[in-house]
Amino acid sequence: MRGRRTVGWVFAALAAAALGVSLVVLIVLIAITALQAGPITSMRAVSGAGISLSLRSLDIPGTRDSLAYATVAQVEAGSPAAGLGMSRGDALIEVGGTGVDRPSRAWDTVGAAPGGREVTLPVAWMPRSEVTLGALRATSVQGAPRVVLSSPSESAKAGALRAGDVLLAVGGIPIVGTRQAWEALVVAARTQGTPIELSLERDGELQVLRWDPTVRAELRFVRDPLRAWWTFLTTLNEPRYPERAGLLPAFAGSVYVVLVMGAVAFPLGIAGAVYLEEYAPSNVLTRVIEVLVANLAGMPSAVVGIIGLEVFARALGAGRSILAGGFTLSILILPMMIVAVREALRAVPQTLREAALAVGATRWETVRHHVLPYALPGILTGTILSFSRALGEAAPLLLLGAFLFVTYVPQGLGDSFTVVPLQIFEWATRPQDGFATVAAAAIVVLVALLLVLNAVAIILRNRFQRRWSG
Amino acid sequence: MSEHEALPVLSTRSFSLWYGSHQAVIEVNLDIAERQITAIIGPSGCGKSTLIRAFNRLNDLIPGVRTSGEILFRGETIYGRGVDPVNVRHHIGMVFQKPNPFPKSVFENVAFGLRINGFRGNLAERVESALERAALWDEVKDDLHRKTGYDLSGGQQQRLCIARALAVDPEVLLMDEPCSALDPIATAKIEDLIRELASSVTVAIVTHNMQQAARVSDFTAFMLLGELVEFGLTRELFTRPKDSRTEAYITGRFG
C-alpha cells in the first residue's frame, strides 16, 4: 500500500516540477524582456522632445584615456528642442543636473526624474563648433600643432576671445586640432563644470581665461509608455538612432509573409489532410506519404530555408521577395498543418459521416457539409498554432536572404522585406547604446502577438466544445 | 396476396463478408419482402449489424472489407462493377444504433438529403411531411430553425434521424438496433412508428431484443456466428422454431 502511494507522489512531484518550470520560464521571459524594454518610454521622451543622440569620444592627447560625450545628431524641425535653438552638431552636456557622457545617460535621467507624465528638466548643451568658437585654423610650428582662432563667433567674442588667439589647452586638455578644440570644451564642461579654464597665447603672451560657452534652458519631456509603444509600432525604422527605431517595416513584413504563407499552406494543408484522412486507400503508398509528412514536420527550419533559396528565390526567380518568403514558410508549416488538420478530422465522429452517406451524400458532400464544418474549430486551432510558429521563425528567411534591415513598408509581393524575428536579431547585434532596449521591445511585441494568437486558439477550442457537446 | 408471396426487394445470394481475415458473414441467403418488416436477431457478434450495413454498402468505409456472393436490389446487384454506392443509398436509407443527428437545425437535418439530391420543389413541405411520417412534427414544428438536432431528447433525436432518412423517399429503410440507446417509452413510440411505416416502406431491423422482434416484425431471421440459421414468419419462428439453436436462443438458454 505504502509503495503504491510513493510512486504516485513521485509522479505528482515530477508533474508539478515540469508545469512549475514552464510557468516560471514564461513569467521570467516576460519579466526580463519587459524590464529590458522599459527604457523605451524615456528614449521616446527624449526623441519626442526632438533630440537624437550619438555617442562620440575624445582621445586625451599624451594619454591613453578617452572621454565619451553625446552629440545631438539630429534635431527634429518644430520640436521643443528646435524651439530652444538646439541644432545638429551640438553636444548635450547635462540633463536635470546629470552629466551626459553617453546617450543612455540622458534617457535614464529623463526616465528617473521625479514627476508625472510630463517633466521639465534643465538641460545644458554646447552649440556646435562654428557657433561656440567660430573659424579655427590649424598650423604647426616646428612640428608642434597650433590651433588659431581665425574668426571668432559672437559667442567667442562675448567670452573675450579675439581673432589670432592660439588655443593651448582647455580645462587642462592640450589642444592639438580644430575639431578637438571644441570636443575638449564639451568634455571639460561636463567633467569640470563651467566656467572652463582656457589657456591661450595672445600676442606672444600666455593668457588664462575663464569662460562658459554652454547654453542652458528648460526642456519639457513627455513620458508616455502607451504613446512610446504605439510610436514604436507605427513608425518606419530609423537605422541610426535607437530612440527613433520603429517596428513598422518588420511588422508589416511579418504580416505580409504570413498572409502569403497562409494563402498557400491553408488550402494545401486542408486538402492534403482531407485526402489522407477521408480518401486515401490504406496501402503502402499512403503509409509512405504519412511517414514522409511526419518526418517533414520535424525538419530543421534552416533546411527549409535552403529549399526556399534554391527553389523559390533562384529557380523560380522570386528573389528575396515576400512571395519567396511566404512560400518558404509555407513549406515549413505545411506538414505541421497536415498533422494538425488530420487530428481535427479524426475527432469527427464516424457516425456523422455515416449519417450523411446514408442519405445518399457523396464522399465530397459529406466532407464539405459535415466533416469540415465540424472539424473547423480544431482546424483553425491547429492553423493558428502553426502560423504562430512561422511568425517566430528567423532561420529559413535568413537563409533565403531576407534583408535584416529595411526602412520602408513593403508595397507589393515582389518587394524585399524583413520580419520581426530578423529585426530583433539585427537590433540585438548592434553595439550602440539603446538598440538592446529596442530589440527587447520588439521581443515583447512578438511574445504578445504569439500569446494573443494562442489565446484565440484556446477560445476557439472552448467554443467548439460548448457548441458540439450536446 | 399473402405475406409468403410478397416480392423480395432485397435478396442476398450466398453473401459472405470478411474483415481482413475474419469472416463476419457466411454464405447468407435471405429475401426481404416489400412493405414488410424483417427483423434480424442473434447474439452479439453474430454478424447481424454487418449484414444490414452491407445492404447499403456502408461497410465500404471500413478498410480491409471484402465480399463475395451477391446482394440484389430489385433484381440488380449492388456490389457489381460500375455500381455507385451513392446511388444505392438513395434507395436504401438507414437509421443507426445511436441517434446521430447533424449538428444543425432540425429543418436542415431533414432537408440535407433533399438538397444534395438536387430536389426542386417545396422543401418546407417535404420536410414537414417527413417529420410527420416520423411522428415528430407536432413536437418540433415551433423550433424547426431554432433548435439543433442535439437540443432534442434521445427518442426525438432518433425520430429525427428516421425523418431524415424518410425525406429522400427511400424504398427500404434499414434500422440497426434503433432503440438500444433509448428508454422504454421512447422505444415504444419508435416501435409504433415502425409498424406505421411498413405501409409505405420496406423495413429491415436489427435487434438484440427478441421481444421487440416478436412485437414489430413480420419476418424474422436468426443469425449465429455469421450464419443465417433460420428465417421465416415471425409468429412461426417464435412459436415453432425448426432449428434447435433457434429454440435455444429464443427460450433464453444463451445469448
Per-residue b/e over B185-213, b at no fewer than 16 CB within 10 Å? ebbebbbebbeebbeebbbbbbbbbbebb
Which residue spans of chain A are classified as CATH 2.30.42.10? 45-223
Q: What domains are defined for chain B?
A: 3-100+172-250 (3.40.50.300)
Nearest-CB residue to A359 (from B98, B113, B150): B113
* Residue B111, pLDDT above cutoff 70: yes
pLDDT interval class at A468 (50, 70, 90)? low
Most B CBs within 10 A among A359, A364, A370, A466, hence the mutation to make, goes to: A359
Q: Which residues contact A17 (CB under 8 A, 6 or more apart)?
A: none
Nearest-CB residue to B165 (from A353, A358, A470): A358
* Amino acid identity for residue A253 in this structure: G
* Subunit contact B165:A467, Cβ cutoff 8 A: no
**pLDDT average, residue stretch A67-81:** 91
Question: What's the start-to-end Cα distance of chain B, in Å?
Answer: 36
Q: Compute the mean pLDDT over every residue in chain A, rounded to the nearest whole number.
A: 89
Q: Distance (Å) from the C-alpha of residue B235 to the closest C-alpha of chain A? A: 31
Sign for the CA dihedral angle at B194, B198, B204, B208 comes to: positive
* Residue A198, pLDDT above cutoff 80: yes
Task: Name every chain B residue with its beta carbon within 8 A of the beta carbon of A374.
Answer: 103
* Residue A129, pLDDT above cutoff 60: yes
Q: Is A359 on the interface with B (CB under 8 A)?
A: yes
Domain over A231-468 is classified CATH 3.30.465.10: no
Q: Distance (Å) from the C-alpha of residue B218 to the closest C-alpha of chain A? A: 24
**pLDDT average, residue stretch B164-172:** 92
The second-level CATH assignment, the architecture, of A45-223 is: Roll (2.30)
User: Closest chain B residue to A468 measured between Cα atoms?
Assistant: B103
Per-residue b/e over B40-54, b at no fewer than 16 CB within 10 Å? bbbeeebbbbbbbbb
Task: Name every chain A residue with its beta carbon within 8 A of the beta carbon of B119.
Answer: none
* Subunit contact A353:B61, Cβ cutoff 8 A: yes
pLDDT of residue A434: 87
How many interchain CB pairs under 8 A, A with B?
A: 72
Q: Distance (Å) from the C-alpha of residue A399 to the closest C-alpha of chain B? A: 44
Burial class (CB in 10 A: 0-12, 13-18, 19+), A400: buried
Cα–Cα nearest to A248, from A445, A107, A21, A414? A445
pLDDT tens, residue by residue, A87-112: 999 999 999 989 999 999 999 999 99
| DSSP 8-state symbol, A369 | I
* Subunit contact B113:A360, Cβ cutoff 8 A: yes
pLDDT interval class at B236 (50, 70, 90)? very high
* Subunit contact B102:A359, Cβ cutoff 8 A: no
Separation between Cα atoms, residue A394 and residue A416, nearest integer Å: 15
* Subunit contact B168:A356, Cβ cutoff 8 A: no
Separation between Cα atoms, residue B205 and residue B207, nearest integer Å: 6
pLDDT of residue A150: 92
Task: Name every chain A residue with its beta carbon within 8 A of the beta carbon of B151.
Answer: 470
pLDDT tens, residue by residue, A43-56: 999 989 999 999 99
Q: Which three cell numbers stand for residue A151?
A: 574668426
pLDDT of residue A469: 47
Return the percentage of chain A with pLDDT > 90, whole number.
Answer: 54
Q: Distance (Å) from the C-alpha of residue B236 to the closest C-alpha of chain A? A: 33
**pLDDT average, residue stretch A176-194:** 91
Separation between Cα atoms, residue B80 and residue B78, nearest integer Å: 6
Total length of chain B? 255
Separation between Cα atoms, residue A177 and residue B126, nearest integer Å: 100
Where is pLDDT greater, at B25 or A281?
Answer: B25
| Contact (CB, 8 A) for A118 and A220 | yes
Where is pLDDT greater, at A3 or A229?
Answer: A229
Task: Name every chain B residue with its beta carbon within 8 A of the beta carbon of A359.
Answer: 89, 93, 112-113, 116, 164-165, 167-168
Separation between Cα atoms, residue B160 and residue B220, nearest integer Å: 26
* Cα→Cα distances B70→A376, B13, B30, Å: 40, 5, 11
Nearest-CB residue to A374 (from B89, B101, B103): B103
Q: Distance (Å) from the C-alpha of residue B254 to the closest C-alpha of chain A? A: 30
Chain B contacts to A (CB-CB under 8 A):
56, 58, 61, 63-64, 86-87, 89-90, 93-94, 96, 98, 100-103, 112-113, 116-117, 148, 150-151, 161, 164-165, 167-168
pLDDT interval class at A466 (50, 70, 90)? low
* Subunit contact A365:B63, Cβ cutoff 8 A: no
Return the percentage of chain B with pLDDT > 90, whole number.
Answer: 61
Q: Compute the mean pLDDT over every residue in chain B, rounded to the nearest whole number.
A: 90
Which of A150-164, A308-322, B103-117, B158-172 is least confident?
A308-322
Q: Distance (Å) from the C-alpha of residue A467 to the closest C-alpha of chain B? A: 9
Task: Name every chain A residue with its beta carbon within 8 A of the beta carbon of B164.
Answer: 355, 359
Under DSSP, is residue A427 helix (H, G, I), strand (E, B) or coil?
A: helix
pLDDT interval class at B120 (50, 70, 90)? confident
Under DSSP, is residue A168 helix (H, G, I), strand (E, B) or coil?
A: strand
* Subunit contact B116:A360, Cβ cutoff 8 A: yes
Separation between Cα atoms, residue B234 and residue B242, nearest integer Å: 12
* Cα→Cα distances B123→A208, B63, B173, Å: 107, 36, 21
* Residue A313, pLDDT above cutoff 90: no
Cα–Cα nearest to A38, from A121, A113, A114, A108? A108
pLDDT of residue B5: 53
pLDDT of residue B6: 58
| Contact (CB, 8 A) for B170 and B90 | yes
Burial class (CB in 10 A: 0-12, 13-18, 19+), A4: exposed
User: Closest chain B residue to A282 measured between Cα atoms?
Assistant: B63
Burial class (CB in 10 A: 0-12, 13-18, 19+), A238: middle
Task: Name every chain B residue with its beta carbon within 8 A of the beta carbon of A355.
Answer: 96, 100-102, 161, 164
Query: Strands A91-95, A118-126: parallel, antiparallel or unpaired by DSSP?
Result: antiparallel
Which residue spans of chain A are classified as CATH 1.10.3720.10? 231-468
* Residue B4, pLDDT above cutoff 70: no
Q: Which residues contact A95 (CB under 8 A, 6 or more apart)?
A: A105, A106, A109, A110, A121, A122, A123, A219
Chain centre distance of CA B87: 17
Most A CBs within 10 A among B52, B55, B116, hence the mutation to make, goes to: B116
Residue B218 CB coordination number (10 Å): 18
* Residue A148, pLDDT above cutoff 90: yes
* Residue A470, pLDDT above cutoff 60: no
Q: Distance (Å) from the C-alpha of residue B255 to the closest C-alpha of chain A? A: 26
Cα dihedral: B111, B113, B117, B121 (round 10) = -30
* Subunit contact B56:A358, Cβ cutoff 8 A: yes
| Contact (CB, 8 A) for B221 and B231 | yes
* Residue B237, pLDDT above cutoff 70: yes
User: In chain B, where do the E strands start and end?
Assistant: 8-19, 22-33, 37-41, 65-73, 76-77, 92-95, 172-176, 202-206, 219-224, 227-233
* Subunit contact A355:B148, Cβ cutoff 8 A: no
Task: Name every chain A residue with its beta carbon within 8 A of the beta carbon of B178.
Answer: none
Task: Name every chain A residue with its beta carbon within 8 A of the beta carbon of B168.
Answer: 359-360
Cα–Cα nearest to A229, from A448, A21, A67, A379? A448
* Subunit contact A282:B151, Cβ cutoff 8 A: no
Interface of A with B in 441-470 (CB under 8 A): 467-468, 470
Q: Distance (Å) from the C-alpha of residue A272 to the closest C-alpha of chain B? A: 19
* Subunit contact B58:A356, Cβ cutoff 8 A: no
pLDDT tens, residue by residue, A118-128: 999 999 999 99
pLDDT of residue A394: 87
